[in-house]
Structure 1
């Protein structure tokens, strides 16, 4: 066998440029770049070194043979011609991977089968011994790549993919592969920063992949030092003495690296469930002295300026997998930008994101951007130098202004207290510096315009709400068509619903406007970003608007008309309280004294609680959903009402049909459309209104009143109803100032017997 081999290194897409630099540094000659691969020439020692030391490759393939191939017969004979007895024993195990198509092979499974057959036929002994297939841990992993009529037959020296270093047995929901994490660190300049003794912090560390890869680079640890099973372990061409020499050298380098004073490497993670798995990964990598992981939000990570510490902040913030998520993540990116400005002046930062538009919202300019792929997702690595003149403040600074700022920063550094010592020779701790003031992020022109409108609305409506004792109200409802949001205040929480933009609007422009508006909300309404909840409201089909969106189970108590109600701002599209029905609920409270009250399609029974507060003799609330009836029960007990308030689970139409009771006051606010699994057929408010109202009016006591409303924008009340009952439209009287801008929020009627 020749002393030099053709070697193929495979890697994730986008890492080829970095991999060729690394491979040449490890001894690969005549190196050339391909898509997701690098090829070159190497002796056996270099091939082993690539297996042990490559931080970026997936596999190290040693080419056994290249041959032209026109069809499956050529493939079989080309593989059969190899002296397989030089590579494996007759009773060994093998696995074959086949890639590419053409030359009559359009199925990789068929191609792999042909290769396997040729090897088995070559090694079959007269006594019938032959190799068998083992896909998990074979003695030999064979790879055949078909490329434009040429077959490239290789031996996979790595075995399992090299990104599997062995320390990460536990991972989070969206893990970065180890070799991609290493590539991002290298691109971010970490080898240089580490060599200078710099620090590293990851404020969203997950299970610690960046931290471990960074420490391994800094401590000169070969990434695959701890791997026991290799693709060459049972290969007959393996040279154990040569491998042992290289492995011992790597072991000595790792021991020397770990004997140095550890660098300051810290991870912070908000999700408590990931802390222990992260620490376990660090321990398995043997790096507990180098790496510490703490639980905390982005805002808690704290470098050590007292030790004149500088270094790299690196993170992979979430991208927003579900529709509407990106909006909620805006504040996370803003908080990250604020933290960098506050605590990391003169550090470098690297933000790896699949949502570059969010990256732009950090309020800090990136001086360089690199494209990467995370699996099939295109991503960007934003490199930032956290200097005073990097801050994006909505206006261009002149070179003179930047020079003045640099001089001011230098002057401040020069005035830093000189370390003083007491008579015992111990350093005197300087008084803590005052906490830096975070400047409010400057808004774009559109964002400022939106903020002005919000503040104007808040000023007008705030006075009215205070006068009326109202704590929950709508402060903005798509007043400006290009900012298509509904914004509601629930005490000190803000509930934002984004209406899906019409198809005629460019999605990128709509996204940019949304981000402008979201950046303006906390400033304009003077609330903490953590108290802004964002949802996207599509055209809903069926009962989708009532379905659970999240599972945080966080209820907030609010007050209205002298009663307390529970709202849930996170888990459902609606919050449990329809704010536009406030005047109707107050009307019911005022008219309920001594009456038997019926609430159909009751939802969380807020109107029934108002009726009980107003002194109703009894209340009956009917809904199909057990979840909402449980919520209703909690609303009643919160106000001390229970025994005389009935909660009935059932399909309203069927319930009315079988009911024989009489009621003095009835409220009906049906959905536009419902097709719940638990009800017969489908309810359609336009089609079924007459049947619904006839059934309900049959239950109305003499002198009683029925209030009917709905929010279907195209709804027309059936004219035949006016012939049978006294019907009066009262929509205008049921709309408060906070909904006056939206005339179609709902329509309402008062119906009595003729």
Structure 2
């Protein structure tokens, strides 16, 4: 084993993926030699003093490991022997507390927990054999942490000199919703050239600072402030070979450098955020770091982001990690924020450097600035990019063109062209026929599998509803998401509407049985009122999977309205599985004097009531019944309840709701449902039966008992998909 008191020791510094080059340069500046970069780590050589210095001063490392030995491991017994061969009595007292971190597997050791157990047994057995006592195992407050990494047949055994990960500086007791780790923030500052900018007196601004991590790390760099000074402790402090005199000298040196650095006049370092609550966290973190005089934050939206005017400020660096949302709907809503940031930067930050760190680079380009450099990094497990921009002074039309957003990518332009074509055809048809809500796009290009529906409100505002279809299993999810982003961007470009007027329903693959599932909007969403042939109907594009208005049923509702008009005064209408009552509204406007609308959903019945009130339907003549339609039909037959001139039966293909007595399978059960409805018809009455099961086949016995006519009720906007629903007119 290597003597830890010798002049040259072997170490490994671990770091987030993507920071290896930066970390190697930092370790070199600290005095390391023999540098060798590996994935998420850098190996180096040096003295124990160097290791202490790295723990105290590294802004990028997660851990500093003292490598003891590398052994060849074939099976569990090899692992035990290799660990037990080391003189652990020189590193830890039998009365102390031990913890092991084990990573990796091979053919014999397939579980890291098993590997850790075997290594722990080896250390404990050796110490018990040496002294008759054994250390306790303690994950949270160990005196020594042993790090073992197995790769194929090679096992690296090391002592973790850091303790807690070095990114935990000790100043951040309050964090925001999406915290940026301190060493990643430091890496962003280094990549953006902050040390050089600070040296010449340039300012550091963060327009969306959150809990202030970028600002604090920037101030610590500018003040020559060691990032490890605020920590409660390090792993080496209870190690038996710890050299306290070396450590105390290094710490005193760091304290003196911090004192001198904070006495200097630092550049302007200021942050802003529109959320006052998160600024409380930022202020607490700044105070804990002792940087109240050097770092200031204030509540201000991006639209008000400007160069501070309270004192002369030299152009410097604007660096931020704006939100970019997990879901596409959130991402699209954020485009306006990025666009506003770009406008403010172009308007008032000529000569400044800008860095935007984002997990969605397309949002970064929504600023309208062109990046001259990009760095691939990881924010945890999320692949991200640091985009660097230079803001130039405007000089007329040429400069305006240079600063403008890049042209649409070829993929987006292709979808945009299809949308434009559809607007010229379907849009013209809709306008001619007085249709304000229609389907513009329905997976016209197979690789862009989604539907785009347009809703124009009573006030004349245009909204788009984008609903993703299931992608083939052969299409990777990241590729499917990229295509959906392209489609949404094309929608905004062609329709010239703000992001807030676009709602997106994503379909995501689920790990459990059941395949895909839509992600619906959160909260109540926004209710809009639209017109359909004079009926005013409520739609909600965000809060539910469906909007409240099935656009493919528009001609069915028009047909029901016409049927009521033909029957004249006194006609009665029954709407089963009534959803939001839109068919009843159309029937009433066609002349129906009495109606019953049945659905077991309280939400939909409340929605129907709002539609009824908006169209002045008398609640005494147009009744809403909250009930299971299957049970209601049975009860209506037994009680010989009313006779209806027109019945609309539009059940789901399958339902096993907890509110239902049984399970509804429309292919299996439609014969019984149709017979029950026919028993409720007045002489000469009509049943309109509809469902959206594409494989549906009408029962031959039903066709023998009644007059059954298949209706073709599809408008131009749904003719690409003729199997979207089935409609029959059934009479006695």
Q: Into which bin does the TM-score normalised by the smaller protein fall? A: 0.7 to 0.9
Q: Give 1:556's aligned residue.
A: 527
Instruction: Select the residue among 574, 577, 583 that pairs with 1:598.
Output: 574
Stretch moving more, 42-51 or 455-464: 455-464
Q: Does 1:351 align with 2:351?
A: no
What's the secondary structure of 2:241's corresponding residue? coil
Matched ranges for 1:644-655 at <5 A: 644-655=621-632
Instruction: Select the residue among 60, 63, 66 that pairs with 2:64.
Output: 60
Instruction: Select the residue among 600, 606, 612 that pairs with 1:624.
Output: 600
Displacement of 1:386 in angstroms is 3.8
Return closer, same or farther for 1:559/1:64 CA change in 2, 3 Å cut-off.
closer
Stretch moving more, 348-357 or 318-327: 318-327
Give yes or no for contact 1:90–1:125 (8 Å, CA) kept in 2. Answer: no
Instruction: Select the residue among 361, 365, 371 that pairs with 1:366.
Output: 371
Q: Give 2:498's aligned residue.
A: 528
Deviations 1:443-484 (A, max 9, x none): 456655655664565577667766766543334445566655
Deviations 1:232-266 (A, max 9, x none): 22233333343233223322333333344454445
Give yes or no for contact 1:542–1:675 (8 Å, CA) kept in 2. Answer: no
Displacement of 1:64 in angstroms is 4.7
Give yes or no for contact 1:65–1:153 (8 Å, CA) kept in 2. Answer: yes
Give yes or no for contact 2:441–2:453 (8 Å, CA) kept in 1. Answer: yes
Return closer, same or farther for 1:312/1:68 CA change in 2, 3 Å cut-off.
same
What's the secondary structure of 2:226's corresponding residue? coil
Return closer, same or farther for 1:674/1:181 CA change in 2, 3 Å cut-off.
same
Deviations 1:188-230 (A, max 9, x none): 2222223233333445544443333233223332222111122
What's the secondary structure of 1:211's corresponding residue? helix
Q: Does 1:578 align with 2:550?
A: yes
Displacement of 1:78 in angstroms is 5.8
What's the secondary structure of 1:751's corresponding residue? strand
Give the whole-Å Cα distance in 2 for the aligned partners of 1:106 and 1:671.
48
Give the whole-Å Cα distance in 2 for the aligned partners of 1:482 and 1:47.
54
Give yes or no for contact 1:88–1:140 (8 Å, CA) kept in 2. Answer: yes
Q: Does 1:92 align with 2:92?
A: no
Q: Does 1:694 align with 2:665?
A: no
Q: Does 1:47 align with 2:51?
A: yes
What is the TM-score with the length of structure 1 in the denominator?
A: 0.80
What's the secondary structure of 1:370's corresponding residue? strand
What's the secondary structure of 1:210's corresponding residue? helix
Give yes or no for contact 1:576–1:604 (8 Å, CA) kept in 2. Answer: yes
Q: Does 1:213 align with 2:217?
A: yes
Give yes or no for contact 1:12–1:58 (8 Å, CA) kept in 2. Answer: yes
Q: Give 1:685's aligned residue.
A: 666
Q: Does 1:228 align with 2:232?
A: yes
Q: Give 1:667's aligned residue.
A: 648
Give the whole-Å Cα distance in 2 for the aligned partners of 1:133 and 1:237.
20
Deviations 1:468-513 (A, max 9, x none): 6654333444556665542312422222234445678898887666
Give yes or no for contact 1:90–1:131 (8 Å, CA) kept in 2. Answer: yes
Give the whole-Å Cα distance in 2 for the aligned partners of 1:148 and 1:695.
69
What's the secondary structure of 1:216's corresponding residue? helix
Displacement of 1:618 in angstroms is 3.6
Return closer, same or farther for 1:488/1:321 CA change in 2, 3 Å cut-off.
same
Stretch moving more, 106-115 or 238-247: 106-115
Return closer, same or farther for 1:454/1:267 CA change in 2, 3 Å cut-off.
farther
Return closer, same or farther for 1:148/1:655 CA change in 2, 3 Å cut-off.
closer
Give the whole-Å Cα distance in 2 for the aligned partners of 1:512 and 1:645.
47
Give the whole-Å Cα distance in 2 for the aligned partners of 1:151 and 1:584.
71
Stretch moving more, 569-578 or 365-374: 365-374
Return closer, same or farther for 1:304/1:293 CA change in 2, 3 Å cut-off.
closer
Instruction: Select the residue among 154, 157, 162 that pairs with 2:158.
Output: 154
Q: Give 2:728's aligned residue.
A: 749
Q: What 5-or-longer segments of structure 2 have no aligned partner?
A: none
Give the whole-Å Cα distance in 2 for the aligned partners of 1:49 and 1:287.
23
Displacement of 1:53 in angstroms is 1.0
Q: Give 2:19's aligned residue.
A: 15
Stretch moving more, 581-590 or 182-191: 581-590
Return closer, same or farther for 1:68/1:674 CA change in 2, 3 Å cut-off.
closer
Give the whole-Å Cα distance in 2 for the aligned partners of 1:661 and 1:344.
75
Deviations 1:363-405 (A, max 9, x none): 544333333334444443333334489xxxxxxxxxxxxxxx6
Stretch moving more, 324-333 or 91-100: 324-333
Deviations 1:421-460 (A, max 9, x none): xxxxxxxxxxxxxxx9995764456655655664565577
Give the whole-Å Cα distance in 2 for the aligned partners of 1:83 and 1:201.
52
Return closer, same or farther for 1:106/1:538 CA change in 2, 3 Å cut-off.
closer
Give yes or no for contact 2:530–2:539 (8 Å, CA) kept in 1. Answer: no
Give the whole-Å Cα distance in 2 for the aligned partners of 1:282 and 1:583.
63
Q: Give 1:140's aligned residue.
A: 144
Deviations 1:660-686 (A, max 9, x none): 422233222222333434435543434
Return closer, same or farther for 1:507/1:240 CA change in 2, 3 Å cut-off.
closer
Give the whole-Å Cα distance in 2 for the aligned partners of 1:480 and 1:122.
68
Q: Does 1:473 align with 2:412?
A: no
Q: Give 2:388's aligned residue.
A: 383
Give yes or no for contact 1:548–1:571 (8 Å, CA) kept in 2. Answer: no
Q: Give 1:240's aligned residue.
A: 244
